[in-house]
Amino acid sequence: PHNRVLNHVALHVPDLEAATEWYTKLFGFCRLRNPICCDRSTDPYAPTFHVYDNKLHKVQLAFLATGNGFGSELFQFVDPPMSEPADFNYTRGGIFHFAITDPNPEALLARANKAGARQIGEAVVPASCEGEGERQVALYMQDPWGNVIEACSCSFEKM
């Protein structure tokens, strides 16, 4: 079968502008276009309303891109609003983190912590990188809205 590429990840945040600023300033993600607002009362045929149930009345979206073109959508559900940030729980089903590549994850984490992130666990050397010459590191953090991010010092192919 054809080896598909990942297109984007969508994150649920309670404050779209704050999250957009956090991801663009900290990770260098680029804004692809201005944020949009989908409001069922003014545009009931917006594509978003064909995906989600009738309880969704208003949502704001921002569209960001990473250094390699992978997309990151930020969703702020306005009506109904986000209830509370998720607690990190690796045992729940579904996606439990996404990863970025940075040559110095420890320095990135220090900046992220100053911007409201929280480290999860300890920095580790990926098992497949042990004894491979240059030290590689991976660490985990939680953004201010509960999304878990892994920062790796090398690309996935080298892990």
The domain of 21 spans 8-79
Total of domains in the chain: 2
Q: Is 1 inside a domain boundary?
A: no
Residue 131: band (very low, low, confident or very high) from pLDDT cuts 50, 70, 90: low
Q: Is 87 inside a domain boundary?
A: no
CA distance 89 to 122: 16
Predicted TM-score (pTM) of this structure? 0.88
CA distance 137 to 153: 5
One-letter amino acid at 138 equals: A
Please name the residue that has the structure tokens 């690796």: 90
Q: Is 27 inside a domain boundary?
A: yes
Contact in structure between 43 and 66 (CB atoms under 8 Å) = no
CA distance 150 to 97: 7
Peptide bond preceding 80 in cis form (omega within 30 of 0): yes
pLDDT of the residue at 135: 76
CA distance 53 to 66: 30
Q: Taking residues 61-70, report their average pLDDT.
A: 96
Q: Is 56 inside a domain boundary?
A: yes
Asked if 104 and 59 sit in the same domain, the reply is no
Torsion of CA 16, 18, 22, 23, to 10 degrees: 10
Asked if 69 and 124 sit in the same domain, the reply is no
pLDDT of the residue at 66: 96
Asked if 75 and 118 sit in the same domain, the reply is no
Structure confidence by residue, pLDDT tens digits, 83-127 = 766 666 666 777 889 999 999 999 999 999 999 999 999 999 877
Asked if 60 and 104 sit in the same domain, the reply is no
**What H or E segment, with its residue span, contains residue 107?**
helix 105-114
Q: Taking residues 33-61, report their average pLDDT.
A: 95
Q: Is 141 inside a domain boundary?
A: yes
pLDDT of the residue at 94: 76
Q: Can you give the CATH number for the domain in which 48 is found? A: 3.10.180.10
Instruction: Please say which residue of 44, 79, 114 terminates a domain.
Output: 79
Asked if 56 and 112 sit in the same domain, the reply is no
pLDDT of the residue at 77: 94
Asked if 49 and 13 sit in the same domain, the reply is yes
- 131: tokens are 């004894």
Mean pLDDT of the chain: 91
pLDDT of the residue at 88: 65
pLDDT of the residue at 70: 95
Residue 130 predicted with pLDDT over 60 = no
